[in-house]
Structure 1
Amino acid sequence: MVLQAETCDDGMPSFFDPRTVAALFDGNPAAVAVLDHELRYTYVNPALERLNGLPARSHIGRTFSQVLPGLHGQATALREVLTDGMPREVTISGRTWAPTEEEQQLWRASYHRLDAEGEGCGLMAIVVEITDIARQREELERARGHVALLSTAAVRIGTTLDMDTTCRELADFVVPDFADVAVVDVFPADLGHTVRRPEPGVVRLRRAALRGDGDLDEQVQRFGHPGEYIDFAADAAVTRCLTQNEPVIDDWENDQRGRSARTADRIAASRALGLRQALVVPLTARSRPLGTLSLVRAEGSPAFGDQDVAVARELAVRAGVDIDHARRYDHEHSIARELQRSLLSEPWGPRPHVEIATRYLPADEDVLVGGDWFDVVPLQDGRHLKAMGDVMGHGVEAAVAMSQYRSLLRLLAQEDLPPHEILEQLDTMVERSGLDRAATCLLAVVDRFGGVCEVASAGHLPPVFIDPGAAGARVVPVPVGPPLGTGFGGYRTASVPCGPGTVLFMYTDGLVERRGEDIDVSVQRLASLTMPPGGRLEDLLDQVLDRFGEDAEDDIAVLASRIREGPPVVRPTPAE
């Protein structure tokens, strides 16, 4: 990750305004620092203050070695990242000023260079303490007779940051080498309003993974498919395990304990399949319960011993860390998706006379927010201004700039100006505002009475018109002015025929731009798009993304619009 900016102020990228950085990272659970080109702290978030045991004022203006002389392993990496711009991850050992009983602590740090105009202006550091994880690894290695199993677990569990995938990997890993059946149940992230609440005293978990050996795999599905919610009574082994936060062995062959009807029925069904014993261990991370791992052995398999319990517990600890990482990653991505959804909301205002369909597809699953945007603003006479734009760059900074562009555009649209005049004024406002990210933009207004579409472009790719039932689409070249934010102006409006039922299709360059291919050649492929009379706009966008979006290297935003069919309308006159 190399963050880009166009200007450099005092050695730091211009977009790293203290208030912006604080808004982005103050609430982040990960420890984050920003350093200038001389590797001095310019920002630390509260998480890093707690980790280092020092307030932010004791960091600012000082280097790593000055603030934390007891740490080792980062100086060389910092200089290398600043020199070549390649991100690095390093393990740091030593002690900070934070109180701890540990003789030595370990952290995993990732460093990314911050660039402005091709020059390294500083670094961003993200630090996570891994002392507990390191200790767990040592304990796993000491487990006699299970070293091979546990070392293999590190390779096969947690290969992705998807929680359900991690849970499936855990269940697949222990069957059949360690258990005949494995079940992973986790606490739901959010029950929501559509899920009924459990009865008092009942623990509700979501089944994340279920795996049986051989024929058992199909037979045990009766106990709940992955994705279903499972209720456990107070006397169930899962409930007791979570309550005590300790492993629980349930011996179904020699069990004399009184059971509730719910639990007794499950045990009876398990015995009918030849299952004899269950070992349930808690899945935890950062002292928080995540769920349980249930290991079940059938007739013919040895009973669980003390060493099995120790290994299962250690395996659950390791898996708990992976599951927690995946859950936190999913939570952070959910926040990013909500941010993008709020910035790239559904087109604005009521649309009684026009049909609209839109899609946004990020090119990188690790960067869910970006600068592509679309909007539909209602005008007089039932007309609508359609906008498609693309702010230069990616990430949160581009998304924030996109929001500013869209807000200004909505303000100007209310004056009901021709598209080229809106672009002229928008270009002027952006230049005066100091917004340092240029953007392309395509504006279009369909006159449903005159059968024409007025289009103006600020450095954007041409619109596509798809006539109903035609053998192909029309890629219409329109006069192209400079991108917004340059201050050059010089935009023009073109009139394009747009009859009843014609679809106006607008897009960003991520849909068509491909490395090693002329952009004009890529755009002309859109001429193959067709639309049957009365066809659904959503189906058209599915077709477009299936055909052209698979190999995208950039974010994609697409918008399709069409005047709603109905009885002939007559343009109202001023007297009316």
Structure 2
Amino acid sequence: MGFDQSPLKTLFSGAEDALLSMLADAPAEAVAQAHEYKILRDVLDGTAAAVAIMDERLRFRYVNDAMARMSGVPPDAFLGRTMAEVLPGIQRSEDILRMILGDGRPRALSVTGTTRAPSPFRQRQWSAVYHRLEYGDRVLGLCGIAVEVSGLRQYMDDLERAHQRLALLDTAATRVGTSLRVEQTCAELADFVVPSLADRATVWTVDPEEADDLPPPAPGVLRLRVVASAGGPDVVGRIGLTAEAGYYFDAPRDSPTRSCLDTGRPWVGNLASDDVMLKMLRTQLNVEVFRDVGIHSVVVVPLPTRDHPVGVLYLCRAGDSAPFTDEDVVVAQELAARAAVSIDNARQYTLEHTMALELQRALMSEPGTPHPDVETASRYLPAGQRALVGGDWFDSMALPCGRTLQVMGDVMGHGFTAAVAMSQYRSLLRTLAASGAPVERILQEADHRLASIGIDRVATCLLALVDPLAGTCTFAGAGHPPPVLLHPDAPAELVHVPTGPPLGTDLGGYEAATLSLKPKTVLLMYTDGLIEDRRRDIDSSLRRLTHLSLDVDGPLESLVDALVTRLVHGTTEDDVTLLAARLRSP
């Protein structure tokens, strides 16, 4: 009789002692076998592994105590029922069990799910092996032995998540904070967290200065500005948390945003009710916009720095996305902390760079005004890798007899010391030029005076005296790159200027050279930042400058812009200064 026909309580019924007493007068071999049965039964009941025997229809005929403890179901409740009937939360492949019944090959299975018994693990898992039971040529059923591996599985899952987290943070280090611009850094952060952490994200910063076109915030209210958003263009501009860049939002003291900034701790609103959303979004209309696009969970993470947060990062999940986990919040905090350093550095750089440029403009002041028959255009581009002023300067001075003096100079080095020295050079040259002396005498006197007052930074300089009445231009140089004449009907011409030593050396020996200057010809003077390139020698860079195809007949401003576009790519290691001049047509 097979398992499926035998009475339920006769298989492994637990009547070992009664069986032994009945066999007291039996042959010794039968008594020994009964003792073996008891020993095997004790092994099955005492092992920590879950053991179950099923018939051909996969109904339980026996489970041991370990199986009952793991499942939280008494052993008797299993008998005559299938796994799906006893433990519906367990996932196990019935197809594989039937394959074992069919071919007799033992197989290992991974069984997962939940049971009635309490467990410290998020997801329970067992490793099980099933064998076919046979009697002669008849198949009786299956025997399954399983051990729980939930702890190992959870450890492996945690380890994998930790690796993914580290990989995410490593990737963020290369993609967030690639520039010294606040807007770009915030955009990189928003783009990175969507969709890796959220369906929508917005970066808000605390503005250090109030906007001129907005009324000041109420007392106790903190004003923030949207700098970047990612994901969900359908709500851009409709609501503050997902608004376009430039939108301002006032956060009162009782708002989650303000609490996040004040405490430095994240605020988590998983599956938030309308009342909770209303507390954060402030208006019912904003709540309705959130619900329209399916947003159900929000996390607000501060962007912390050593002194105070520079803003907040909003993360939103919508639709079928799961709510945020504790691990999601931790990852968001780490990303925000790293990004906050880059944002703060970018903000500090912008502030210092702006101050430096203002100082540079103040030291340079406005160039003088040439005579009406000479038009000029100029550009000054500071070196892009530092927020420091430099030593470049240029000037344009109207002199007696209708002449105009064009000046281009470059003090050695960078920083405030070079800028102060530049201001002294410029003031002295203006004073000497007013005397009406020839250009070579101006350089000679400037060289001597600068050396005598002990300025420790030398400077290169180029003077060009434009005489519209004579149609000439007289040059004198002090170690400066040569000027270029851009002709409308001929190739550009590199002017050979007799060059002397830099100013401030007290070596003297300056000479002048005079060339004709036609009304449509453009005189271009520049500093070495325009032509210096590690990939080319100086001669190659000068040839490249003279071989440019430019519209000389157009506006000078457009010509100077074209030169900068064609020759300056990205950041430069030195300041770039240009001064273009052209005689006006009669």
Length-normalised TM-score, structure 1: 0.65
Please tell me the residue identity of whatever aligns with 2:267. Answer: V
Aligned to 2:169: 153
Task: Kindly indicate whether residue 194 of structure 2 is the aligned counterpart of residue 175 of structure 1.
Answer: yes
- Count residues in correspondence: 420
Please tell me the residue identity of whatever aligns with 2:248. Answer: I
Query: Structure 1 residues 453, 191: CA separation in 2 closer, same or farther (over 3 Å shift)?
Result: farther
Task: Kindly indicate whether residue 580 of structure 2 is the aligned counterpart of residue 560 of structure 1.
Answer: yes
CA distance in 2, matches of 1:261, 1:297: 16
Q: C-alpha displacement at 1:225, in angstroms?
A: 5.4
CA distance in 1, matches of 2:196, 2:561: 44
Q: Pick from 205, 215, 218: which aligns with 1:197?
A: 215
Length-normalised TM-score, structure 2: 0.64
Alignment of 1:16-415 (within 5 A): 148-149=164-165, 152-153=168-169, 155-157=171-173, 158-160=176-178, 161-193=180-212, 195-198=213-216, 200=218, 203-212=222-231, 216-217=232-233, 219-220=235-236, 222-223=238-239, 227-232=245-250, 234=252, 237-239=256-258, 241-242=260-261, 246-250=265-269, 254-256=273-275, 263-306=283-326, 308-349=328-369, 352-366=372-386, 368-415=388-435
Query: Structure 1 residues 405, 177: CA separation in 2 closer, same or farther (over 3 Å shift)?
Result: same
Alignment of 1:515-526 (within 5 A): 515=534, 519-526=538-545
Query: Structure 1 residues 554, 203: CA separation in 2 closer, same or farther (over 3 Å shift)?
Result: closer
Structure 2 SS opposite 1:282? strand
Query: Structure 1 residues 441, 365: CA separation in 2 closer, same or farther (over 3 Å shift)?
Result: same
Aligned to 2:78: none
Alignment of 1:383-532 (within 5 A): 383-467=403-487, 469-515=488-534, 519-529=538-548, 532=551
Aligned to 2:90: none
CA distance in 2, matches of 1:513, 1:493: 26
Identity of aligned residues (%): 46
CA distance in 2, matches of 1:236, 1:273: 22
Structure 2 SS opposite 1:286? coil
1:466–1:530 CA contact under 8 A, matched in 2? no
The structure whose residues are more often helix, as a share, is 2
1:156–1:169 CA contact under 8 A, matched in 2? no
1:359–1:559 CA contact under 8 A, matched in 2? yes
1:419–1:445 CA contact under 8 A, matched in 2? yes
Please tell me the residue identity of whatever aligns with 1:231. Answer: F
CA distance in 1, matches of 2:467, 2:427: 24
Q: C-alpha displacement at 1:292, in angstroms?
A: 1.2
Query: Structure 1 residues 379, 221: CA separation in 2 closer, same or farther (over 3 Å shift)?
Result: same
Larger deviation: 456-465 or 313-322? Answer: 313-322
Larger deviation: 549-558 or 356-365? Answer: 549-558
CA distance in 2, matches of 1:413, 1:297: 69
Structure 2 SS opposite 1:176? helix
Task: Kindly indicate whether residue 546 of structure 2 is the aligned counterpart of residue 546 of structure 1.
Answer: no
- Structure 1 stretches of 5 or more lacking a match? 1-141, 569-576
1:333–1:368 CA contact under 8 A, matched in 2? yes
CA distance in 2, matches of 1:547, 1:241: 48
Q: C-alpha displacement at 1:443, in angstroms?
A: 0.4
Q: Deviations over 1:433-482 (max 9, x none)?
A: 11222222110121122211121111222222223x32322222122222
Q: C-alpha displacement at 1:192, in angstroms?
A: 4.8
CA distance in 2, matches of 1:368, 1:535: 34
Q: C-alpha displacement at 1:227, in angstroms?
A: 3.2
Structure 2 SS opposite 1:445? strand
Structure 1 SS opposite 2:195? coil
Query: Structure 1 residues 169, 528: CA separation in 2 closer, same or farther (over 3 Å shift)?
Result: closer
Structure 1 SS opposite 2:287? helix
Q: Deviations over 1:125-146 (max 9, x none)?
A: xxxxxxxxxxxxxxxxx99966
Q: C-alpha displacement at 1:262, in angstroms?
A: 6.1
Please tell me the residue identity of whatever aligns with 1:178. Answer: L
Q: C-alpha displacement at 1:561, in angstroms?
A: 1.4
CA distance in 2, matches of 1:260, 1:279: 11
Please tell me the residue identity of whatever aligns with 2:546. Answer: A
Aligned to 1:24: none
Please identify the structure whose Cα radius of gyration is greater.
2
Structure 2 SS opposite 1:372? strand
CA distance in 2, matches of 1:536, 1:550: 23
Structure 2 SS opposite 1:424? helix
